Amino acid sequence: MSRLTLAELASRFGLEQVGDGAIGIDGVCTLTPGKPGHLAFLSNPKLRPQLAQTQAAAVIVGKRDAAGIRAGLVAADPYFAYARIAALFDRYREFTPGRHPSAVIAADATVGEGCAIGAHAVIEAGARIGAHCYVGPACVVSRDVQIGDHCRLEARVWIGPGVRIGKRADIQPGAVVGSRGFGNAPTPQGWVSVPQLGGVVIGDDVEIGSNTTIDRGALDDTVIGDGVKLDNQIQIAHNVRIGAHTAIAACVGIAGSARVGSRCMIGGAVGIGGHLVVADGTVVMAGTAVTKSLPRGVYGSIMPVMDHRHWRRTVAHTRRLETYVERIKALEKKLDLSQPPDEAPGEDDV
Amino acid sequence: MSRLTLAELASRFGLEQVGDGAIGIDGVCTLTPGKPGHLAFLSNPKLRPQLAQTQAAAVIVGKRDAAGIRAGLVAADPYFAYARIAALFDRYREFTPGRHPSAVIAADATVGEGCAIGAHAVIEAGARIGAHCYVGPACVVSRDVQIGDHCRLEARVWIGPGVRIGKRADIQPGAVVGSRGFGNAPTPQGWVSVPQLGGVVIGDDVEIGSNTTIDRGALDDTVIGDGVKLDNQIQIAHNVRIGAHTAIAACVGIAGSARVGSRCMIGGAVGIGGHLVVADGTVVMAGTAVTKSLPRGVYGSIMPVMDHRHWRRTVAHTRRLETYVERIKALEKKLDLSQPPDEAPGEDDV
Amino acid sequence: MSRLTLAELASRFGLEQVGDGAIGIDGVCTLTPGKPGHLAFLSNPKLRPQLAQTQAAAVIVGKRDAAGIRAGLVAADPYFAYARIAALFDRYREFTPGRHPSAVIAADATVGEGCAIGAHAVIEAGARIGAHCYVGPACVVSRDVQIGDHCRLEARVWIGPGVRIGKRADIQPGAVVGSRGFGNAPTPQGWVSVPQLGGVVIGDDVEIGSNTTIDRGALDDTVIGDGVKLDNQIQIAHNVRIGAHTAIAACVGIAGSARVGSRCMIGGAVGIGGHLVVADGTVVMAGTAVTKSLPRGVYGSIMPVMDHRHWRRTVAHTRRLETYVERIKALEKKLDLSQPPDEAPGEDDV
């Protein structure tokens, strides 16, 4: 994208312009230090004091900051406006349609108009790829896959046989979608592999991060709803269902048949146990071990960092909690203080 | 696989038939809701009430449920029987032998009879691949690798130089077997890379999940026993040894030179420290931090999910455990209650 | 590497020789049991008793052990000397310069002298690769990437557009460097993708493990300092900065904009929260949840493994800590024991 004027951006995105509309914008930048000829944004009110010092040519702000800038754009949601404008300058996502001669595309695969198929990509028999898709270098799209319009498979992505993906998916390198679920039947002679015959169904506007893995279902499908955003190195086991617009941070593991609701926010490195249900709109803090189904709410479980000496003593005391509780009871008995009736840990505590 | 009759399945797998042997079976299905023309199974006794409602044409059951079905197969282990029958319908694992013209196969590599080598696969010099193997698209089999008969490398698998793999391995996309172990020598100028000259030896009937990584040994080999099942995104460091028929769930990390026994079950996201020994038959619950060697048993360590307010208060109290213990001691002193003799946390607590 | 004599090794590496210099060395080996014709090393004083039994032809030792060996080399740092000598026998890292005919190299990409470009590798437009690099099979080097001299991209590595890498990088299979950061703006209609326009800058002598992922910055760069060693399956989010000579073990996740100092040691499976700062020289034990910025020190947080019955009771008691604290207070009140003034958990505890 070559230079645009502030007035052109205001007009294109329906934003109010402040200051000289002829200012040229060559790209976007951070508010501090900012960059001449570039456009920054202010979304976090804590950063307001930085407005005065920025070297940015113009700033996207909310209504209440419009008076505080010399030049810029006023938006109801400055971060959202920034996201849309910044996309104009995301030059590495532009592509020229075509098929690299080294790509292997099955004769009966269908590739829509305006697609780019990269070097050493493989599109297997029966696959159907929508229009205006980018299938980057070394991607493998297996048999009978269906992919909607305007999808991007960055590079080295594997889409397993029969997987169905909606429109505008953005899949990062190394992602694996539709691998065999981890199903094995115990026998006296060892584990016997249980065929995984289900598929994976992915909605529209889904992002899948680098080296994230999504297994196919055992018999039914694994399902990822519309607008779900998955960060890197997430593991989603067979038959998991994730509701629309849920965002999941990196390194999360979700065990088989778990159901995560819509519009949830799942922090990094969370683990969710098999067959559990997490309600719509639930927030799970980073690192939490989800061991039971969760009604809507906000949840945590990690023990945060401590100095190692403090930590070691805390570990030792935690392990002895039972004896401390006995000692409290002995004290209460000696003093004839009444005890709560039910003190035995229940079976359902873990 | 086209349609089979119930009688054909009974005969082929040596199972007792119930009801009309002419019933046609087009595939397998879940018990609920079930699918006309398909075969379901009942393994979990809790699901017995679903037998009456299933739309499945027939059901695989154990002896005690044989009277409860109109049509089906009776097996000593219904889940195992299902696994074997379902494999007949796993059509995406069928392949036609041959070498894709885009595959790069070294002149002195050996590929056994009945193998399929996929598009853009690479088989390097000195590699030997057994008979009836499937090496999928974009797999890389490095120099001097040995792979037994009937192995499946789904796609985008990397097998490092000199790695040895037994028969019937099933390796999912993105798996890395034989990468450099993480060995670095500290010097005042920084870390110096220590060459990793060992290999990886993998037994028969091993499953390796998507994006799982297994490092080569520093001098000796990293060893994965017969029948080991590894889920996705597992990390196995150099010189680890895993005993036969152990199953490991996703996202587990095993540090260097640890030894995990045979027939263990390791839950998801477990971490096992370097040089530790986990005894045969041990069960480690999901998320556990294994910080010491474990005799045979069942182990856990995670703090399970709590409402975030409860969690925050619990964290605060846990951090202050030491002061609470002091307060219990002060109370005991005041009341002349005797204290256990050894209260100081030992050095070996972590 | 063919056989070398002990005298040749002593001369080449400037080490003192003990015993017969004509002894032939065909490779390196462990001290126990050792291997005839091979060279072992003794670095850990605890292993000193093994010196007498080793079958190794010679041993690298420190000064104080020189008298205890029949033949060997004396080094100020035996492990470091071993690392350098062992590299002579790391035959799988030797390569013959050249370009495999199946590699796709853009006309305007620059590849330095003495490089090997492997089968099905892709080097995109504008990429510049230094001299004596090894770019293994199925690697993808995207547009405008810069890579210094003597780098090794083992296989199936993806380097994203515009990424800059210093000299002597060692990047293991499946690594992803420069993928899209996880930036999404919330709107009432769902998440909107925020373009990630920053790059990744990697210093000299950096190791990146298998399936490790490093995201590009949102606007500024993600930065990995000189001599940083990253193990397998590490996730580094956008705008993270890691100081020189820091070593990070496998399965660590570092959230966006966190800064990790130089010469830190981060244990396996540690999680570091977004925007936090970890001081130079800090040690974080395996599994720790870093939830606040850390001054220089040693830190931990995990609850180590327990027998599952002990663990279940400990969990139950931990969840009830608040009630136990209340009971201690009631006891103190009854006995008129003074209480510490500030017992309410602070807001900043998590």
Convert the pLDDT of each residue in A243-257 to its tens digit.
999 999 999 999 999
Q: What pLDDT does residue B339 have?
A: 66
Half-sphere exposure of B210 (CA within 13 A, CB side): 28
Report the candidate in B251, B250, A285, A210 with the shortest Cα–Cα distance to residue C236. A210
Contact criterion met (CB below 8 Å) for A260 and A242? yes
Size of interface B-C (CB pairs under 8 A): 239
Q: Chains with ≥3 Cβ pairs under 8 A against B?
A: A, C
Which residues 315-344 of A are in CB contact (within 8 Å) with B?
315-319, 321, 323-324, 327-328, 330-331, 334-335
Catalytic residue among C132, C150, C238, C245: C238
* CB proximity list for B282: less than 8 A, separation 6 or greater: B261, B264, B265, B294, B295, B296, B297, B298, B299
Q: Provide the pLDDT for residue A339.
A: 66
CA distances from A321 to A72, A325, A337, B97, B318 (A): 60, 6, 20, 63, 10
Nearest-10 crossing angle of helices C308-319, A308-319:
100
Q: Which residue has the tokens 């640890």?
A: B258
Element spanning B204, H or E: none
Contacts 24+ apart (CB under 8 A), C253-259: C253/A233, C253/A250, C253/A251, C253/A268, C253/A269, C255/A249, C255/A250, C255/A268, C255/A286, C256/C181, C256/C182, C256/C218
Res. B337 pLDDT band, cuts 50 70 90: confident
Whether a cis peptide bond, with omega within 30° of 0, leads into B33 is yes
Q: Please name which of C253, C231, B224, C236 lies closest in space to residue A271, comparing C-alpha atoms.
A: C253
Report pLDDT digits (tens) over B83-119. Answer: 999 999 999 999 999 999 999 999 999 999 999 999 9
Q: Over 70: is that where the pLDDT of B283 sits?
A: yes
Cα gap A86→C334, rounded to integer Å: 66
Burial class (CB in 10 A: 0-12, 13-18, 19+), C128: middle
Per-residue pLDDT of chain C (350 residues; tens, 9 = 90+): 679 999 999 999 999 999 999 999 999 999 999 999 999 999 999 999 999 999 999 999 999 999 999 999 999 999 999 999 999 999 999 999 999 999 999 999 999 999 999 999 999 999 999 999 999 999 999 999 999 999 999 999 999 999 999 999 999 999 999 999 999 999 999 999 999 999 999 999 999 999 999 999 999 999 999 999 999 999 999 999 999 999 999 999 999 999 999 999 999 999 999 999 999 999 999 999 999 999 999 999 999 999 999 999 999 999 999 999 999 999 999 998 876 655 555 444 55
**Top-ranked range on mean pLDDT: pick from B261-275, B331-345, C336-350:** B261-275
Mean pLDDT over residues B21-42, rounded?
Answer: 97
Among B42, B79, B92, B323, the residue to mutate for chain A (most A Cβ within 10 A): B92
pLDDT digits (tens, 9 = 90+) for B180-197: 999 999 999 999 999 999
pLDDT of the residue at B2: 77
For residue A78, whether the previous peptide bond is cis, meaning omega lies within 30 degrees of 0, is no
According to DSSP, the residues that pair with B283 across neighbouring strands are B265, B298
Residue type at C239? N
- For position C337, what pLDDT does the model report? 81
Number of other residues whose CB lies within 10 A of the CB of residue C122: 29
* Amino acid code (one letter) for A291: T
Q: Considering only CB atoms, which chain A residues are within 8 Å of C156?
A: 138, 156
Q: Which residues are paired to C214 by β-bridges?
A: C177, C236
Between C156, C194, C330, which is nearest A337 by CB?
C330
Please report, as a single letter, which amino acid is at residue A342.
Answer: D
Out of A227, A251, A306, name the one closest to residue C301 (CB).
A306
On chain C, the residues whose CB falls within 8 A of the CB of B314 are: 318-319, 321-322
Residues of chain B neighbouring A173 (CB-CB closer than 8 A) = none
Q: Say what the pLDDT of residue C2 is.
A: 77
d(CA B152, CA B136): 8
Q: What's the confidence (pLDDT) of residue B5?
A: 97
What pLDDT, on a 0 to 100 scale, did the predictor assign at position A336? 86
What confidence score (pLDDT) does residue B347 get? 42
pLDDT of residue C347: 42
Residue C323, sorted as left (phi over 0), alpha (psi -120 to 50) or beta, turns out to be alpha
- Between the two ends of chain C, the Cα-to-Cα distance in Å is 56
For A310-319, the pLDDT digits (tens) are 999 999 999 9
Residues of B within 8 A of C120 (CB-CB) are: 104, 120, 122, 138
Q: Which residues of A touch B41 (CB under 8 A)?
A: none
**Among A234, A134, A123, CA closest to A175:** A234
Q: Which of B290, B310, B196 is nearest to B248 (CA)?
A: B290
Spatial neighbors of B262 by CB under 8 A, at least 6 apart, are B225, B243, B244, B245, B246, B280, B281
Q: Is B213 on the interface with C (CB under 8 A)?
A: yes
CB C178 within 8 A of CB C216: yes
Query: Is residue B346 within 8 angstroms of chain A, CB to CB?
Result: yes
The answer to whether the pTM exceeds 0.90 is yes
Are C259 and C277 in contact by the 8 Å Cβ rule? The answer is yes
For residue C252 the two structure tokens come to: 């660590």
**Using CB atoms, which residue from A185, A196, A271 is nearest to B79?**
A185
Rounded to an integer, what distance in angstroms lies between the CA atom of residue C110 and that of residue C114? 12
B330: helix, coil or strand? helix
* Nearest-angstrom CA–CA distance, A327 and A344: 15
pLDDT at B127 over 50: yes
Give which of C271, C283, C203, C198 is closest to C243, Cα–Cα: C203
Q: How many CB atoms lie within 10 A of CB A336?
A: 7
Q: Which residue of A has its CA nearest to C104?
A: A119
User: Using alpha carbons only, how large is chain C's radius of gyration in Å?
Assistant: 27
Question: What's the CA gap between B285 and B299, in Å, rounded?
Answer: 6
Residue B148 pLDDT greater than 60, yes or no: yes
- Nearest CA-CA partner of A206 in A222, A221, A227: A227
Which positions ≥6 away from A112 have C-beta within 8 Å? A129, A130, A131, A132, A133, A149
φ, ψ of residue A114 in degrees (nearest 5): 75, 15
Q: What is the pLDDT of residue B309?
A: 97
Q: What is the 3-state secondary structure (H, E, C) of chain A?
A: CCCEEHHHHHHHHCCEEECCCCCEECEECCCCCCCCCEEEECCCHHHHHHHHCCCCCEEEECHHHHHHCCCEEECCCHHHHHHHHHHHHCHHHCCCCEECCCCEECCCCEECCCCEECCCCEECCCCEECCCCEECCCCEECCCCEECCCCEECCCCEECCCCEECCCCEECCCCEEEECCCCEEEECCEEEECCCCCCEEECCCCEECCCCEEECCCCCCEEECCCCEECCCCEECCCCEECCCCEECCCCEECCCCEECCCCEECCCCEECCCCEECCCCEECCCCEECCCECCCEEECCCECEEHHHHHHHHHHHHCHHHHHHHHHHHHHHCCCCCCCCCCCCHHHC
Measured CA to CA, the distance from residue B66 to residue B274 in angstroms comes to: 50
Give the pLDDT band of residue B341 (cuts 50, 70, 90).
low
Q: Are strands C306-307 and B298-300 parallel, antiparallel or unpaired?
A: antiparallel
- Residues 83 through 102 of chain C touching chain B, CB cutoff 8 Å: 83-84, 86-87, 89-90, 92-93, 100, 102
Q: C215 and C231 in contact (C-beta within 8 Å)?
A: no
Q: Which residues of chain A have pLDDT under 70?
A: 1, 339-350
Q: Which residues 141-200 of C are in CB contact (within 8 Å) with A?
A: 142-143, 156, 158, 160-162, 174, 176, 179-180, 182, 184-185, 187, 190-197
> Could you tell me which residues come within 8 angstroms of residue C215 by beta carbon, excluding any fewer than 6 positions away?
A210, A232, C178, C179, C180, C181, C182, C196, C200, C222, C236, C237, C238
Task: Tell whether omega for the bond before A33 is within 30 degrees of 0, i.e. cis.
Answer: yes
The whole-angstrom separation of Cα B322 and Cα B329 is 11
- CA–CA dist C123, C141 (Å, integer): 5
- What pLDDT was estimated at residue B113? 98
**Residues C213, C253: Cα–Cα separation, whole Å:** 10
**Which tokens go with A300?**
């945590």
